[in-house]
Amino acid sequence: MIIKQAEYSGTYVNLESLPVDQKLEVALVGRSNVGKSSLINKLVNRRGLAKSSSTPGKTRTINYYQINQSWYMVDLPGYGYARVSKKEKDRWGQMVDRYLEQRGQLRGVLMLLDIRHEPNRNDVIMKEWLEHKEIPFLLVATKADKISRGARSKQLALIRRTLDLKEQDIPVCFSAQTGEGVEELKQMLQELLDSEEQIKEDS
Ligand code: GTP
Ligand code: MG
């Protein structure tokens, strides 16, 4: 995939107001601070298109980015941000679940994991839930520049074990700093978008 064009196209706080134009969508999920916004920026080569910050919980809304005037990359609120009330956490969680469950034009999900950390309970739940709902997902191990080549295989094995991954589910190592993984990811995104399969009835 060659990304010729990318633009921010809106911020949404509830599902009822999401775009109705039926363009295909790929969504990003992952813990707060895992690097979702940075991945979008690197992929489209536009620093600052998606707001990224070192303060976890920056993205508390659903943000849409239109790519090549043909599909949307959807930045979902990060899960597990500690410094918000339980009530607010529940609200985000429900919004994300309902989005993933009901969005007819969703073609797949990029699930991001920090390569340095063992997946936590929320990661395990998300992965099992995606499988249960039969939503195609790609795993992305972010911040690959932060560990040595040697530590990589050990961390990938830990991720594999903790999430009980299938043989074919190999995380893509990605770095928003060095650009590692960008081409691989673009190719995988193209395959997701090209898949004929309708995941769910449009709702
Ligand atoms: P929320 O919106 O809060 O859920 O976070 P996010 O998942 O969008 O993370 P974001 O992209 O804002 O990145 C969080 C922090 O990690 C920022 O300080 C980024 O600069 C840093 N970061 C993200 N990706 C990388 C990476 O590949 N390498 C390095 N070294 N730092 C990264
Ligand atoms: Mg973000």
Summarised one tens digit per residue, pLDDT across range 35-52 is 999 999 999 999 889 877
CA atoms of 197 and 110, how far apart (whole Å): 17
Q: Give distance in angstroms: CA of 198 to centre of ligand 1.
A: 32
- Ligand 1 atom closest to Cα of residue 175: 27
pLDDT number for residue 198: 55
Measured over the CA atoms of residue 87, residue 112, residue 191 and residue 175, the dihedral's sign is positive
pLDDT number for residue 168: 87
CA atoms of 186 and 182, how far apart (whole Å): 6
pLDDT number for residue 55: 67
CA atoms of 153 and 128, how far apart (whole Å): 23
Q: Helices 121-132 and 149-163 meet at what angle, rounded to 10?
A: 60
Q: Give distance in angstroms: CA of 47 to centre of ligand 1.
A: 12
pLDDT number for residue 59: 59
Low-confidence ranges of the chain (pLDDT < 50): 203
Q: Which of 122, 191, 136 is nearest to 169 (CA)?
A: 136
pLDDT number for residue 128: 94
Please work out whether the CB of residue 37 comes within 6 Å of at least one atom of ligand 1: yes
Instruction: Determine which residue's CA is closest to atom 17 belonging to ligand 1.
Output: 54
Tokens at 100, concatenated: 């993933």
Please work out whether the CB of residue 57 comes within 6 Å of at least one atom of ligand 1: yes
Which strand ranges, in their side-by-side order, compose the sheet holding 62-67? 6-12, 62-67, 71-75, 24-30, 106-114, 137-142, 172-173
Q: Give distance in angstroms: CA of 20 to centre of ligand 1.
A: 30
* Reduced DSSP (H G I as helix, E B as strand, rest coil) percent helix, strand, coil of the chain, to 5: 35, 20, 45
Please work out whether the CB of residue 41 comes within 6 Å of at least one atom of ligand 1: no
pLDDT number for residue 199: 59
pLDDT number for residue 108: 97
- Ligand 1 atom closest to Cα of residue 142: 27
